[in-house]
Amino acid sequence: MAKYLIVNADDYGIAASVSRGIRETHQRGIVTSTTVMIGMDNAAEAVQQARKETPDLALGLHVVVAGKAMKPVLPPDQIPTLVRPDGLFYDNPDWGEHAASFNPDEMTREVHAQFERFVAVTNRLPTHLDSHYHAAYYHPASAEAMRSLALKHKLPMRHDRGIGHSILEGIPQPVTFYELDHDQSIEVLLTFLQSLPEGEIVELCCHPGYSNDMLFATDSWTTVREIDLAYLTDPRVQAVITSEQITLCNFEVFKKRQDRPL
């Protein structure tokens, strides 16, 4: 029985160097999907580059409600409880300390605004929904907003990683979620690939990219992204994909499974 693996690179659009790295890991490695941070300054240009250079790279929406220097789509004065005085989202651990005071209506409108911006920029629906830091899963309003969008548009979502919300009930999702750990050796990744369950769809989440000064100002993950890039383009990884007869796919595999059994 076949094994199905979605390899999703998070944070597309956070910086040009990261977006370039993601496109390269699709062209030279095993990345099949990415999720766009649609509110970032680089996002629209990065989307156009993806459509030109990597037309088979699936584009999902990376819902952002937290982060080091993450911008909302709505004007800050329309969502005052969600942002810091500088108009950016709260980062951890401040996000958790302020979450109880987030206005649910503001959170709902911001999630919907990000979805609408994505559709306007890409001229298509996202292939799936997930969230930066997984943060949108932790707040009831953003979790419900994601759920309603997924149900309305029949979109898959990332596995909830056991957070406990029932938002994924009735929504297609991978059977499990595995995040590439750049603090571990590549052998750990190879072992993971060799242990995939037969007949199931699994997501491997990763964060490839190149580091530069702009990224240092925007995100806490910088040079470690180059480790992910190296792992995902390593010939040993492709060799295991081949020997284990793993089918690389993206979140559109769920639609194919609905149309006909895999």
DSSP string computed for the chain: --EEEEEEEEEETS-HHHHHHHHHHHHHSS--EEEE-TTSTTHHHHHHHHHHH-TTSEEEEEE-S--SSPPPSS-GGGSGGGB-TTSSBPPTTHHHHHGGGS-HHHHHHHHHHHHHHHHHHHSS--S-EEEGGGGGGTSHHHHHHHHHHHHHHT--B---TT----TTTTS---SEEEE--TTS-HHHHHHHHHTPPTT-EEEEEE------HHHHHH-S--THHHHHHHHHT-HHHHHHHHHTTEEEE-TTHHHHHHHS--
* Nearest C-alpha neighbor of 249 from the set 183, 203, 195, 186: 203
Tens of pLDDT, residue by residue over 155-208, are 999 988 767 556 788 899 999 999 999 889 999 999 999 999 999 999 999 999
pLDDT for 256 equals 75
CB burial readout 106-128, b (16+ within 10 A) else e = bbbbbbbbbbebbeebbeebbbb
pLDDT for 171 equals 93
Tokens for 158?
């990332």
Tokens for 116?
């609408």
CA-CA-CA-CA dihedral for 79, 150, 118, 132, to nearest 10: 60
Which residues contact residue 211 at a Cβ distance below 8 angstroms, ignoring those fewer than 6 apart? Answer: 17, 222, 223, 225, 226
| pTM of the shown model | 0.94
Determine which of 139-148, 157-166, 240-249 has the lowest per-residue pLDDT on average: 157-166
Tens of pLDDT, residue by residue over 49-96, are 999 999 999 999 999 999 989 999 999 999 999 999 999 999 999 999
Tens of pLDDT, residue by residue over 222-234, are 778 999 999 999 9
Domain residues of the chain, as ranges?
Answer: 3-259
Tokens for 37?
């941070």
Please state the φ and ψ torsions of residue 152, each to the nearest 5 degrees: -60, -40
Is the pLDDT reported for residue 5 higher than 60?
yes
Looking at the domain 3-259, which fold is it? TIM Barrel (3.20.20)
pLDDT for 165 equals 55
Tens of pLDDT, residue by residue over 94-142, are 999 999 999 999 999 999 999 999 999 999 999 999 999 999 999 999 9
- Cα separation, 208 vs 31, in Å, equals 9
Is the pLDDT reported for residue 258 higher than 80?
no
pLDDT for 154 equals 96
